[in-house]
Amino acid sequence: MTDVIRFAGAQIACTDDLETNVSNIKKAIDWAQVKEVDYLLTPEGSLSGYIPDWDSYKGRTVQDVINAEALVVAYAKDAKVGLCLGTMWAEDDDRFPKGYRKENQIRFYSKTGNFLGSTNKHHTITSYDQTVPSEVTLIDMEDSRQNFWAAGLICNDFWGGPLRGQPSLPMFVTDNLNAQVIFHATNGFRGELPNYDDITDAWHEGNLRMLSYTCGIPIITVDNSCKMNGFPYEGKTSSASGILLNGVWQVKVPRTGTQYFYYDFNHSDIINFATRKHPDQDILDQRPDITGEM
């Protein structure tokens, strides 16, 4: 039995059309099957589209989204690919007029199709997410060797806390909850305001790398390749898609169009919290006099 665990991401177009999104996710699963991926992450809203009225947009219903999810989950199960699916979702809740509350989620499924749980977005955009923040929890990720604990963070969950005077969620799930992997599904605003794009691009890159350096666990991050509202777009994503460890990109894909990527980690290192290593450890070993680290 190999000790490798393969995490992957799919930078795909999260459009405003449900059937198109199902097709895009299935194509990503096809690729993941060929590459023998253990867990595949899709962007924020990749199934439903990231639109405020996702449950009624162009005549669709909540049941239509549920049916679409069932299709891609069954497809991933047949392909033996674990799926970390970004989508808007309806949770039964009598406190809300429609009998459900809208959630922005990553929904986790094992390679055998078992529903492992979901994580909700916490640093929400009120006009889009229309939900209430919930407790931050981890997902017990199924693995035939030994399960591991993963945090699912959505877009602003990764970098929005300090801007709102709140704790950093990546540090919280690592330091307080002992997460062993972070899956980050994002879908940022882009393509309309060039100066804003430039500012947020620098913020996203810096936060991803510094928090990766600080947390010391694998971070899989993936963005939508079209505009946040699902409209066609040929420019750069709002943030880079790829996999980081200790502040260094292990793999980083081009910032335009559909891109698939994966990286192999040692499963034992994941479950034993042994992934942390200074990115310049070889230099520090030779130069113990060097100081100034954070």
Per-residue pLDDT reduced to its tens digit, 151-203: 999 999 998 888 888 889 999 999 999 999 999 999 999 999 999 999 999 99
Q: Which residue has the higher pLDDT, 124 or 29?
A: 29
Q: Is a pLDDT exceeding 80 seen at residue 292?
A: no
Neighbours of 216 (CB within 10 A): 16
Per residue in 239-257, pLDDT (tens digit) is: 999 999 999 999 999 999 9
CB-based contacts of 211: which residues, under 8 Å, 6+ apart?
158, 159, 168, 170, 171, 219
| CA–CA distance, 41 with 55 (Å, rounded to integer) | 22
Cα torsion at 132, 137, 143, 148 (round to 10°)? 150
Tell me the pLDDT of the chain averaged across its residues: 94
Q: Which residues pair with 120 in a beta bridge?
A: 105
Percent of the residues in the chain that have a pLDDT greater than 70, as a whole number: 98
pTM of this prediction exceeds 0.85:
yes
Question: Domains along the chain?
Answer: 4-286 (3.60.110.10)
Q: Which residue has the higher pLDDT, 65 or 2?
A: 65
17-21, 46-50, 51-55: segment of lowest average pLDDT:
51-55
Determine the pLDDT at residue 151: 98
Per residue in 120-138, pLDDT (tens digit) is: 999 888 877 777 777 899 9
